[in-house]
Structure 1
């Protein structure tokens, strides 16, 4: 009789082949081949930023994910979930940078990114992190620890790494946190002054109303066909159903579609929209030209301006050249800046005012120098059209984002424009919403007096460079705190922050940098202490649809890879190095599953008070989701409808209660780069600047098609559009011809901030003089840790300036001027998608 080989013997006998597998996944989980082929898949349920999914596990392997049956239009991104679980760059066990392991916070910071990593036990890692928190707290104070971790890592209500990190650091004494987001920095700071609410999240007029009433749709710097794939919560992609209806009904009714963008984007192509090519960062100039034409031709709605806005007279003086720069903002003036022909500017102005028009603004225009101005000016232009509050007319600043414009239950209507817009009768709904873990404990203790400091999120490098110096932000004068330690959980700052080489130098001011993540990202490779976390499909959690019509179970599909641990457990173990009271404050005496059940129970109780039935937790967990109806009234929502009906009763949240074309508050700040009304400020880099003589191409960096920022770039999905293994860069044929570049060439893209490789895509879909390179490609330096080295993969943020939008928002930018040349010599290999060599591994 042949003796059956046990698993341990099998692995030992398999030699190098087994060893290669063991390097990426747990040895004990590897099934015998003979046992694996006929087993049925075990089905589970989970969710992500790309959608809810059914997970398929066989022989302890998460093999695939199929879209949830309630997903209206599943996207390709969910296919990367299983692939990333077994990615070659998974962080499998705690590691410490070798020089840091030897010298601690006194280590050589210049070695970050190029030092050897050493595998350590979890106990050693917990001790190092806890002791460093204690040391920094004692030596410098809690605010010397930056816990502003930022990223899109997890949709779970419990294992939210940012919330948990803040909760843990608060319990240990405090930290410096962040405000705003890289996505909406300028818009969320400026629009409350203009319309009384944060227009990055306020619900715009819903699509069913647009489908029925709009006669003209202007997609201004937004690409909803592409960007609605993802959501901060879980997308159900219902927006695509409405976009399809909008296209079909638009053909029947003769609706005109325009896309204003340097690129003929996915949305323009889908709708067959007329493409108005505009030079990057010059949108305000074009809007001013349209406004001037409307005023001089007496086409604007003077009655709306008088009744619903304030400050038009001050703006009018600027528009006519009677104040500030004393230059009339004529269509001719605008055309010379934005590159849009005069006749097109006039045509669009007449189109918009003569038809029921929706101005669909996105977040792209505000991610630029003086990014406060485009949305302020868009609202001003919409006010001159006078259709705000009418069915199918007005403006929206966030249609490009999942759920915005989609009818939804009350608990997810965002920040309504007025109290009346959130009237319970209009939004009466079966949905109870779903809570998540708080950054503050309900258990009272010394942590209630934790010391806190807040900085604008995109100014972290400036903070490191200028500790103790004053800066202006949103009407306040503040001082940058002195940061000595940074702890990042579930984020990738060496992706989403700008000017990579400046950032590398600034990071050396940190004595300790901790990264808690799944993968060996560029950030993890720059860290001193690296803690491996589980993926969403390796743990249990609970979440909800971004549009609030579902609550989803997130069931563990597979055992964690290597020694990866849930974020919740990592923070509990760090706190065990403090006191039992602090551990209790963090857990509140509940296990992970008890936390999950408590979130569901809170929704259950809320629903019961409204007379809505929900299944028991066990029944919900077995099925994987619970559904809530969207009320018919939500399908009729019109932004500003009640404000228009009675602006006295339904005041906006501004000091005047009206739309503030001129803001006394902002004017009172006396800022040089953000004054009392919308204005054209020359950007630091644009086609008309001096920098353009040396770097003549205007670079834009939109959201990617096959990843969420940098997520999923380490899966096979990147091969769907990369060119010779490089991030693609679009160029107009004339620009390519001047440089001897052909489609498919590997090119060097550069300016004074840095240099990257890219793969050329020669296309007329982008205007001459502009180039397009998506954000999110992983930073892969040719000489790791060296400032100025070539990024061989194509991280566009190497090239983008790290300068605040203005003193008001201190937001981030997404454009730059560059030059491009065909790369000469042997093209360097990509190495970022494999784990680094680790001692003791």
Structure 2
């Protein structure tokens, strides 16, 4: 498999959900006036969409005043209350801005001043001239290895206005540049699972939920919280899974189905379903799985026939499981001492797994830990021993909480996007990486900046870190995603120039040299799928308000940049925004006609309801074709079978990731870990319930609906709170050897003793801007997390391997620093 393609998998995986059939258009009356365009009527409702769902915006004299949900969404997301503020909040990037000292000294600026939030306003021409001049300088002086464009895309929906497509299309005409492999969400699983079960799995469609409802006896939610995470999708969510989860709740209530959540925390899904829980010790999931597997084997409950026909390597794994190789059987008693679940509970769960149809639903948080590759691999092994992979309502999946996993995929066309050029011109600068690697694992960027030229083992390759001098970020916020904020600040000083395109003054903007204001998705026209995996329909995303201040579309920004090397007409293909949208629609319409689907012409679609609903597809079983005929439908592994033992991985010779799954002690953990005396609490920093990563954290009014005394919530067990003298609403200092943050206390029985949570995406808000070690005044958990790779195999982030201490904050509580715009200064002096 080409792992360079993993970094763009979020953009491209959707191509695999295309199906065929006949069109069924909804014609129940227009949602809005036909004169829909921004500011054409004194008052109107305008249809739009985003990662939180489709909606209609009330616009009065050109101002967005109210929001209501889309009538075809039965389960609208609460986060839609925050979207209007994205346009109008004080953190909005309004004008092109340049960091003061960089404007004076360019690449020789004082980089320790990054983060001090002092910027000079410039014109668009000045900003783009400087952008172009830096591209030229760095390419000439350092070659392709000097430019980095590794983060893009999570901010925007829409086939045309994808930030990643816009920047790639432009910069590839100028030269080559360093890119990334993988992402922060599921890096360990993305690398190991193709070796084990033949595909990325995490972004794949899951067995149709109606088949789960009909056939499943036990659902195992292993670190999986679909009710929380299915609120958002990569495209515009239709929220259809919530109807199915209502049915699952009814079956649980009636005693017709068991759902067991394996998680140290009572998840939102567990509380919604009223289901069972096994509250294991944090980071001990693999030990529990091994205890279950040993019970299945020792009590002869495993499916020998399935293992023999559909997998390879069980005989290499077995000596480790039984203790033949290390004199330590991985039995339930051994597992109990590590994971905190009693041996009898482990044995009883193993017996239950094979009494009926069992569906394993794996989440992603568990693989964002040290040795995170072992968790998805071992969960596949456990499902293989149960023997139900490929059966309706049985087997294993890792995408149930993402992109509407388990919905039924429609028979409608999948539209393309801006994409690359069919016949691109010769680039201004030929590719020249000067012996360095053209790609790096995404979470190893700080390592790369601090140690250019260093060798790195990664998935069988030996990479050489490039000497990056210029970084460009668009629709991304690395000061949210990357671990160990203080180490990151030092690494950022290695960059000569940083350019950020955004519409919010994130910490990434504050640490940039050039900040370019882009439009929000609500100031653009576009089209997008309604439902990511479901592809339920096609939605017109209409401009709610005109671009505010001096914000521009990414497409227009890069058209103007290309003008500086005479490729602007090549870039835009001489087409406007609406001409592009019409072209993309017509391509989809042609695709539909070829498969028997009739779609209205573009004008009828766009000026009418702006929504087409596709015919429903048929239920589908993940890995069903493989089970039916493994010879005709092999997996994408070297053997074509499930690889319990991977000869490929074994051949890499990695001590921290051998040829079959094993229990490996993480570099730190609570609950009997070596460092627990100083830092006894495990810090969870999983996906938030009220945001998409760091997005909408700057929506001030909405943030106040969940913030505690203006800080990010810190969730803590009553026992742990009492020991520390904490009560609800207190401001606490959370700290370890890596950093310190303030957060607002929320005491909850949902959290096991020794486990706390601060959701990722809380904006980094340093008390002293640009200074490593300073207190984060709002509560960014990545101040506390460690920047250590999961293993040499995937080199993914280990964000959830983090232990901390908590105490009541003493002294005068500082103001939150992370929100609002920059300090505007004159460009003639410091």
C-alpha separation in 1, matches of 2:645 and 2:327: 18
C-alpha separation in 2, matches of 1:53 and 1:674: 46
Residue 639 of structure 1 corresponds to: 622
C-alpha separation in 2, matches of 1:624 and 1:485: 45
C-alpha separation in 1, matches of 2:723 and 2:590: 67
Q: 2:606 aligns with which of 621, 631, 653?
A: 621
How far did 1:41 drift? Answer: 2.5
How far did 1:114 drift? Answer: 0.9
- Tell me if 1:759 matches 2:740: no
How far did 1:244 drift? Answer: 0.5
C-alpha separation in 1, matches of 2:812 and 2:603: 59
- Tell me if 1:341 matches 2:342: yes
- Tell me if 1:659 matches 2:659: no
C-alpha separation in 1, matches of 2:212 and 2:592: 31
Q: 1:179 aligns with which of 178, 181, 198?
A: 181
How far did 1:451 drift? Answer: 5.5
C-alpha separation in 1, matches of 2:722 and 2:153: 39
C-alpha separation in 2, matches of 1:99 and 1:439: 36
Residue 750 of structure 1 corresponds to: 735
Q: 1:774 aligns with which of 754, 759, 766?
A: 759
Cα deviation digits, residues 493-531 of structure 1 (max 9, x gap): 101111000000000000000111001111101111111
How far did 1:274 drift? Answer: 1.0
Q: 2:283 aligns with which of 281, 288, 293?
A: 281
Give secondary structure in 1 for the equivalent of 2:659. coil
The answer to whether the Cα contact below 8 Å between 2:196 and 2:643 also exists between their aligned partners in 1 is yes
C-alpha separation in 2, matches of 1:683 and 1:440: 46
How far did 1:161 drift? Answer: 1.4
Compute the TM-score of the two structures, normalised by the length of structure 1. Answer: 0.91
- What pairs with 1:403-802 in structure 2 (closer than 5 Å)? 403-409=404-410, 429=411, 431-440=412-421, 442-446=423-427, 450=431, 453-545=438-530, 546=532, 547-579=534-566, 582-633=567-618, 635=619, 637-687=620-670, 688-715=672-699, 716-802=701-787
Cα deviation digits, residues 596-655 of structure 1 (max 9, x gap): 11111110110111121101111111235343434452x2x1122222222222221111
Compute the TM-score of the two structures, normalised by the length of structure 2. Answer: 0.92
Residue 67 of structure 2 corresponds to: 65
C-alpha separation in 1, matches of 2:583 and 2:401: 34
C-alpha separation in 2, matches of 1:719 and 1:643: 49
C-alpha separation in 2, matches of 1:352 and 1:40: 61
C-alpha separation in 2, matches of 1:439 and 1:745: 52
How far did 1:569 drift? Answer: 0.9
- Tell me if 1:191 matches 2:193: yes
Q: 1:831 to 1:623 in 2, by over 3 A?
A: farther
How far did 1:568 drift? Answer: 0.8
- What pairs with 1:144-293 in structure 2 (closer than 5 Å)? 144-252=146-254, 254-293=256-295
Residue 353 of structure 1 corresponds to: 354
Cα deviation digits, residues 226-255 of structure 1 (max 9, x gap): 000001111110010110011113434521
The answer to whether the Cα contact below 8 Å between 1:99 and 1:115 also exists between their aligned partners in 2 is no
Question: Structure 2 stretches of 5 or more lacking a match?
Answer: 1-40
C-alpha separation in 1, matches of 2:447 and 2:243: 43
Residue 804 of structure 2 corresponds to: 818
Question: Structure 1 stretches of 5 or more lacking a match?
Answer: 1-38, 410-428
Q: Which moved more, 1:165-174 or 1:781-790?
A: 165-174
The answer to whether the Cα contact below 8 Å between 2:42 and 2:62 also exists between their aligned partners in 1 is no
Give secondary structure in 2 for the equivalent of 1:44. strand
The answer to whether the Cα contact below 8 Å between 1:289 and 1:333 also exists between their aligned partners in 2 is yes
Query: How many residue pairs get matched?
Result: 778
Residue 363 of structure 1 corresponds to: 364
Give secondary structure in 1 for the equivalent of 2:600. coil
The answer to whether the Cα contact below 8 Å between 2:536 and 2:616 also exists between their aligned partners in 1 is no
Q: 1:829 aligns with which of 784, 794, 815?
A: 815
How far did 1:139 drift? Answer: 0.5
Give secondary structure in 2 for the equivalent of 1:84. helix
CA RMSD for the aligned pairs? 1.6
Residue 5 of structure 2 corresponds to: none
Cα deviation digits, residues 316-338 of structure 1 (max 9, x gap): 11101112x43211111111111
How far did 1:450 drift? Answer: 4.8
C-alpha separation in 2, matches of 1:406 and 1:110: 50
How far did 1:657 drift? Answer: 1.4
Residue 74 of structure 1 corresponds to: 76
